[in-house]
Structure 1
Amino acid sequence: MSRARTEAKALILLVTFFPQCVVSMLSMTPPVMAVQIALSLGLPPQIAGVYVGLVYAGAISSSSFAASLITRFGPLRTSFICVVTSGAGLTLLAVPHLAAALLATAIIGLSYGPLTPASSHVLARYRSDAGMAFLVSTRQTSVPMGGVLAGFIVPPLVLGLGWNAACVAIGGVTAALGAAVWIAAPVVRNEHPDRPHGHGYSLFEPVRFIARRPGLASLATSSVVYSAMQLVVSSFLVLYLTSAAGLDLVLAGALLSANQLAGVAGRLGWGFVADRVAAPRLLLLGIALLMAIAAGLMSLFTATWPVCAIAAVVILLGATASGWNGVFLAEIIRDVRPAEVALATAGSMMFAYIGTVIGPTLFGGLASAVGFSNAYLFMGAAVLLAGIIGALGRANQSDSAQA
């Protein structure tokens, strides 16, 4: 690969990584200050769970018209529009009123949906290069890195400025920075929208596009369960470790951090492997198998387990439950024409976001009914079934995949 192409790829990776990272940070900011916001609005802190569901519901909605935005404005400009609007949304959250909070949540959620389709559309330019899956997986580390930024930045600002001013500071600076990059970076400012994808523009067109292609439909179906497991882990891990394994809160929190960092490493590692195997879908099945094994081991946790053994299982679960995304998206990109990448990614992410919305709620209800241990066993079985469905689905080998 020429030096110029390598430098161009690095620049594209940077300008696709940045929007997803900062919008991820913005979306995770309200849960970090959930206690302060809830007290101000007269609501219980558990309202953070409702917030997460509403954000992903907004992401599902905006994913339905993401391909249209990308066709009209270009993928990079669409991404930076999302940075500016999500920053404005967090700024609006500073108004201590429930109506403002709901509107702010809607804006943040709507800003989240187009980001993955937009970045996949850009990265599809390099679909024929070696290392495609690793490139996409590297871009996907932007999501957990946004969480890391929220964890480091938000608490000190809340303690020093108060939650209202923290929202204004974080949202305002992010929106201004997004606008500045948009204006200053020629790759964004001078972007020309790509040719239309050649399909309809109705709100349900991304889902219909996926449903008409068995290979994509099988991957999208499996992503519902994978995404559900990913959110279940981040939502319930600390609670489970303190209740079932008898760990103190500090140690459980440290293991949650280790779990999330393992997710970053997993995204990079699985992407590296995917570029070197003949059948990435079978690799996804292998990831699902390891995820199911980790979930099964989780169900066996008791206070007698050594901390090092618990940590090993938690890290394995992080590397798999949060590590599959890049391989999955690279397969979506390979299975369609370049002009269809945004539409196909939007449709597949609509399925994945359904898992994030319903997964924690269903798991919580199941845990209440049969206990956490049995709930983890059920999730492990569901993940393994999803892996089999994804692996058996016939990849789309039409001429569109070879264009």
Structure 2
Amino acid sequence: MLLALGAMFLQQTFASLGRSLPTVIAPAIISDLRLDAAWVGVYVSLIAVSALIFQLGCGSFIIRYGALRMSQVALVLLAGGLSAASTGWIFLFALSAAIGGGGAAISTPASSHLLGRYSPPSYAPLVFSLKQTAVPAGLLMAGLLGPALTQSVGWSTTLNIAAAGCVLFAFMLQRLRPEFDADRVPSRQFRFSDFRTTFTSVLATTDLRNLSMACFAFNGLQTVFTSYFIIYLFELGYDLALAGLVFSVAMFMAVPCRILWGWLGSTSISPRSMMGGLAFGMAGSTLLVGLFGPLWPVLIVGFVASCLSATAMSWHGVLLAEAARLAPAGMRGMATGGVLSFGQLGGLLLPLAYSGLLFITESHGIGFMVCGAPALLVGTLLMRRSAQGDASPPRQS
């Protein structure tokens, strides 16, 4: 289990780094190519469209080829996306979003399928949360190293360095394949009906349907946060290095919080109540982020951003463990992909809404407030369902 956890932690770290790096260094790219900041929302929405398609269709490939092999495929796709973006051609930026978004999308269902085999059921939220700390770890690396490398060697070379790291780690995973892909089913065939089956399977039960709604709101807000926060600070007067530092500090806070929420969800608090509380935290933090102004002290801005990171960047382990627990036997990857597909819809629609509001109002604050509203609605739903009785099995302390 520890070896599987370590391998999937590093896989998700590279996936997070590869997906977020272009938006982290977006101010430099926007300035160099003379683009409007609203186009960032279009870029991340293209990523979400690609991710939605890949997550709906990857379940059969995970079963046929194995979770580790698909993890390697994910890393190679991410490397291709980063290299395409490094050219600076607008057409290849769109291709980068499609390839890189697909690679990042495969990484989570594949790692969830693998860890579901080795995790003790009563502590699955903790194990999955430990694995998912890789997401803020990758964002932390992007926030610290991305601006520094961009100022030193340029944004294009920075993207290519990250691409090389993804390819190198994909090769390093090869030695683990005989053990971790031992459950693959080579006779499994991909069918186009898998797209519909994956999507509709999570709508068949109330619990998976609620998880899907939560994933829509949480992932949409997370995508807005990681895509626009540095640009927001940059337009408030922060230089790129300081904005990246504030972002990195906020991402660092998500690491212990993911572990804490996973531990609480494994021991003393039901996963549903845990996610409901996080949803309310997201809504409140986003409201404060929307009120930022040039006169706000950096420490206060960093504190509020850390609160948003502690909630909007820290829900994954609890939600993914619940999705794996509720999935039919042998279908963890497909069920997880189905739930996450709703998250990709959030990652598609909320950034587009943000871009539209930014274009109309020229206000980042309004965009953050509006994109935090779905989390408030989901928190109310989850807490109401929790008060009616939680369907989760008893947890061991």
Structure 2 length-normalised TM: 0.83
Structure 1 distance, partners of 2:362, 2:35, is 29
| Equivalence for 1:111 | 103
Query: What's the counterpart of residue 351 of structure 1?
Result: 342
Are positions 1:258 and 2:249 aligned together? Answer: yes
Pick aligned residue for 2:352 from 361, 370, 385: 361
Q: Which amino acid aligns with 1:229?
A: L
d(CA) in 1 for partners of 2:379 and 2:350? Answer: 17
Mean alpha-carbon deviation: is it higher for 265-274 or for 162-171? 162-171
| Offset of residue 181 of structure 1 | 2.5
CA distance in 2 between partners of 1:186 and 1:104 (Å)? 28
CA distance in 1, matches of 2:221, 2:145: 27
Matches within 5 A, 1:215-234: 215-234=207-226
Post-superposition offset of 1:166: 4.4
The question of whether the paired residues in 1 share the 8 Å contact of 2:139 and 2:251 is answered with no
**Structure 2 residue 286 is the aligned partner of structure 1 residue 295:** yes
Pick closer, same or farther for the CA change 1:383–1:44 going to 2, 3 Å.
closer
Q: Tell me the equivalent position of 1:75.
A: 67
Which residue of structure 1 lines up, in the alignment, with residue 265 of structure 2? 274
Quote the residue 2:395 is aligned against: none
What are the Cα deviations for residues 194-237 of structure 1, in whole angstroms up to 9, with x where unaligned? 59699984322211101112210111112211122223333444
Give the 3-state SS of the residue equivalent to 1:338 in structure 2. Answer: coil
Say how many residue pairs are matched. Answer: 387
Residues 128, 36 of structure 1: CA spacing in aligned structure 2 closer, same or farther, 3 A cutoff?
A: closer
Counting aligned pairs with the same residue, the percent is: 27
> What are the residue-to-residue correspondences of 1:324-403 with 2, within 5 Å?
324-366=315-357, 368=360, 378-392=370-384
Residue 364 of structure 1, CA deviation: 4.6
Distance in 1 (alpha carbons) for counterparts of 2:251 and 2:341: 23
Deviations 1:364-394 (A, max 9, x none): 5446559666655555543221123234559
Q: Does 1:131 align with 2:123?
A: yes
| Contact residue 114 and residue 180 of structure 2 kept, 8 A | no
The one-letter code of the counterpart of 1:211 is L
Contact 2:65 2:181 in 1 (8 A): no
Taking only aligned residues, the RMSD between alpha carbons, in angstroms, comes to 3.6
Aligned-pair CA distance for 1:101: 3.5
Partner residue, 2:166? 174
Alpha-carbon distance in 2 for matches of 1:231, 1:129? 30
Tell me, yes or no, if the aligned pair for 2:258 and 2:314 is still in contact at 8 Å: yes
Task: Write out per-residue CA displacement over residues 114-160 of structure 1, whole angstroms, 9 at most, x where no aligned residue.
Answer: 11111111111245444211110111111222222334444555555
C-alpha change, 1:16 and 1:38, in structure 2 (3 Å) is same
| 3-state SS of paired residue (2:338) | helix
CA contact (8 A) 1:126 1:132 kept: no
- Supply the distance in 1 between the matched residues of 2:379 and 2:76 (Cα, whole angstroms): 37
Amino acid in structure 1 at the alignment position of 2:142: A
- Residue 14 (str. 1) matches residue 6 (str. 2): yes
Q: Which moved more, 1:202-211 or 1:119-128?
A: 119-128
Cα distance in structure 2, aligned partners of 1:106 and 1:331: 29
Q: Alpha-carbon deviations, 1:257-307, whole Å to 9, x = none?
A: 222222222211111111112521011111122223333444555677666
Q: Find the aligned partners of 1:334 and 1:280 in 2 and give their Cα distance.
A: 11
Deviations 1:330-386 (A, max 9, x none): 111111233121111101111011112221332354465596666555555432211
Structure 1, unaligned runs of 5 or more? 1-8, 399-403
| Comparing 102-111 and 27-36, the one that deviates more | 27-36
Assess, with a 3 A threshold, how the Cα gap between structure 1 residues 71 and 393 changes in structure 2: closer, same or farther: farther
8 Å CA contact retained: 1:88, 1:175: no
Paired residues of 1:295 and 1:377 also in contact (CA < 8 A): yes
Q: Per the alignment, in what secondary structure is the counterpart of residue 270 of structure 1?
A: helix
1:202 aligns to what SS in structure 2?
A: helix
Kindly provide the amino acid, as one letter, of the partner of residue 204 in structure 2. R
Counterpart in the other structure of 2:304: 313
- The one-letter code of the counterpart of 2:264 is V
Moved more, 100-109 or 213-222: 100-109
SS of the residue aligned with 1:204?
A: helix
Quick one: distance in 1 between partners of 2:155 and 2:302? 33
Q: Could you tell me whether the CA contact under 8 Å between 1:58 and 1:110 is conserved in 2?
A: yes
Distance verdict in 2 for CA 1:269–1:78, change over 3 Å: same
- 8 Å CA contact retained: 2:43, 2:97: yes
Q: Distance in 2 between matches of 1:287 and 1:132?
A: 19
Secondary structure at 2:60's aligned position in 1? Answer: helix
Aligned mates of 1:252, 1:77 — CA distance in 2: 37
Q: Structure 1 residues 385, 72: closer, same or farther in 2, change over 3 A?
A: same
> Does 36-45 or 98-107 show the bigger shift?
36-45
> What is the aligned partner in structure 2 of residue 121 from structure 1?
113
For 1:201 and 1:98, the matched residues in 2 are separated by: 33
Q: Between 372-381 and 106-115, report the one with greater CA deviation.
A: 372-381
Decide which structure has the larger Cα Rg and report it.
Answer: 1
Matched residue type, 1:323:
S
Query: 1: distance between equivalents of 2:179 and 2:276?
Result: 37
Task: Give the 3 Å change call, closer, same or farther, for CA 271–187 of structure 1 in structure 2.
Answer: farther
In structure 1, what is the equivalent of residue 53 of structure 2? 61
Partners in 1 of 2:61 and 2:353 — Cα distance?
Answer: 33
Q: TM-score with structure 1 length normalisation?
A: 0.81
Q: Do the aligned partners of residues 321 and 68 (structure 1) sit closer, same or farther apart at CA in structure 2, a change above 3 Å counting?
A: same
Which residue identity is paired with 1:385? L
Give the conservation status (yes or no) of the 8 Å contact 2:66–2:180.
no
How has the CA–CA distance of structure 1 residues 380 and 202 changed in structure 2, closer, same or farther, with 3 Å as cutoff?
closer
